[in-house]
Amino acid sequence: MLGTTIINVIGISGMVAIGGLLIYIGRKLQILDTIETTMSTLGNDFRKLYDRFSTVESRVEALWEGKISISKSPRQLNDLGNKILNESGIKQIVEKRKDKLLEIVKEKNPPNAYDAEQVILSVASELPKRFPDIMDELKQGAFRVGQSMDTVLHVGGFHLRDLLFPTLGFSLTDLDKPKEKP
């Protein structure tokens, strides 16, 4: 009888231990479910934040472009934009790499003048990534004219557009025409 009691105690203790372990695992799984739900909610919040940031970014960009270009279509550099172009060194950087930049733009095959301008401005903004050796020259030029590198690259993008448009079969007056539908 004593042996049966000991076996029963051990059995009950084992069942209690297993039950406790199962409760512990269940709570951990519940915590993981809570974390998953929270992350899903945060993901939605981050998406909303990203969308709002994109809207603000485009509005700020419009104001920023007005600082260096004349507010008409097609956009042309104003006095400050021309000063940046000529004194920062971006003009020489763009002209020296014009053929390679033309290849990159042609690969993207823009169907109309509007898209071509957007591609060219994007390619110009990526100059430091594509040509890391120009980074010091860009920094010095931006410092020399008291502007950010983004501004210098954007000015370079306008110059690159003016250089490449004829080769791509577009004219600056094409920018005034409605965008073609694909």
Between 162 and 74, where is the model more confident? 162
Q: Which of 33-37, 62-66, 176-180 has the lowest mean pLDDT?
A: 176-180
Q: How confident is the model at residue 181 (pLDDT cuts 50, 70, 90)?
A: very low
Nearest Cα residue to 79 out of 133, 131, 144, 145: 145
Q: What pTM was estimated for this model as a whole?
A: 0.64
Q: Which of 39-43, 110-114, 117-121, 148-152 has the lowest mean pLDDT?
A: 39-43
Give the tens place of pLDDT for each residue, 2-28: 667 766 666 677 777 777 777 888 787
DSSP-assigned letter for residue 71 = S
Give the tens place of pLDDT for each residue, 67-80: 777 766 678 888 99
Give the tens place of pLDDT for each residue, 130-147: 999 999 999 999 999 999
Mean pLDDT of 39-62: 66
Which residue ranges make up each domain of the chain?
1-71, 73-176
Nearest Cα residue to 141 out of 100, 77, 92: 92
Percentage of the residues of the chain whose pLDDT score is greater than 70 = 77
Angle subtended by helix axes 149-168 and 98-108, to nearest 10: 70
Percentage of the residues of the chain whose pLDDT score is greater than 90 = 49
Mean pLDDT of 96-119: 95
